[in-house]
Amino acid sequence: MRCQDCLFHISRLDDFHEETMRITTKSRYATRMVLDIAVHGQHGPVLSRDIAERQDIPLKYLEKLIRELRKAGLIVSRRGPQGGHTLAIPATDITVGDIVRIMECPPKYDDCACADNDCEGCPMAEGCLTRNIWVETTRCMFEKLDSFVIGELIK
C-alpha cells in the first residue's frame, strides 16, 4: 500500500465529497506551539503567554501541552526574568509525527491498531477481518506525519 496524501483527504464513495482526517486538537495545538518556539526561540526562550497569543491557544491548555512536551524531552523550560521555553533538540530532528505520538499516547487512531497486536479488549478480535486495514492506515498516517520536519517547515 502506498502512503500518499490520500490519508489526509479521504474520498467518501457515497457523495465523492472530500473530507479531512481528524487529528486531535491536542496534537494540532502542540504542533503549532513547537513551530512557534522553533521560529521565535532562535535567539532565546519564548514566553508561554506570547505563544498563546500568537497561536490563539488558551494559556491554561498551552501550559498542559508544555508539561507533556517537556516530560517527553522535546522542550526545555526556564523560570525567571529571562525564562521561557526552547526546543530541547534541533528543529531538524523533530517531526510532526514525533509530536503527535507524544500527544496521542498510545499513538493510534483506532483501538485495533495497537502495535503489539493486543486485541483482548475487542469482542471481535477472534474473527476480525478489518484489523489490518486500521493498522495499515495508522502506519501510513504516521509515515506521512514523519515526513514533515519542523526545521524544514519553518524555512
- Residue 73: is its pLDDT beyond 50? yes
Domains of the chain: 23-153 (1.10.10.10)
Three cell numbers, residue 29: 495545538
Answer whether residue 66 shows pLDDT above 80. Answer: yes
pTM for the whole structure:
0.77
Using the predicted structure, report yes or no on whether residue 57 has a pLDDT greater than 50: yes
| pLDDT value at 110 more than 70 | no
- Contact indicator for 118, 131 with CB cutoff of 8 Å: no
Q: How many angstroms separate the CA atoms of 138 and 34, rounded?
A: 23
Q: What percent of the chain has pLDDT over 90?
A: 55
Distance from the Cα of residue 63 to its chain's centroid: 16
Tracing cell 464513495 back to the chain, one arrives at 13
Average pLDDT score, the chain: 81
pLDDT for 53 beyond 70: yes
Whether the per-residue pLDDT at 11 is higher than 50: the answer is: no
Please, what is the Cα angle at 42 between 76 and 99, to 5 degrees? 50
For residue 91, pLDDT over 70 is answered with yes
Mean pLDDT of 57-79: 96
Q: Would you mind telling me the total number of residues written for the chain in this entry?
A: 155
Which is higher by pLDDT, 129 or 81? Answer: 81
Cis peptide before 106 (omega within 30 of 0): yes
pLDDT (average), residues 76-98: 95
- Tell me the C-alpha distance between 53 and 134, whole Å: 37
Rounded Cα gap, residues 119 and 109, in angstroms: 14
For 22-39, the pLDDT digits (tens) are 688 999 999 999 999 999
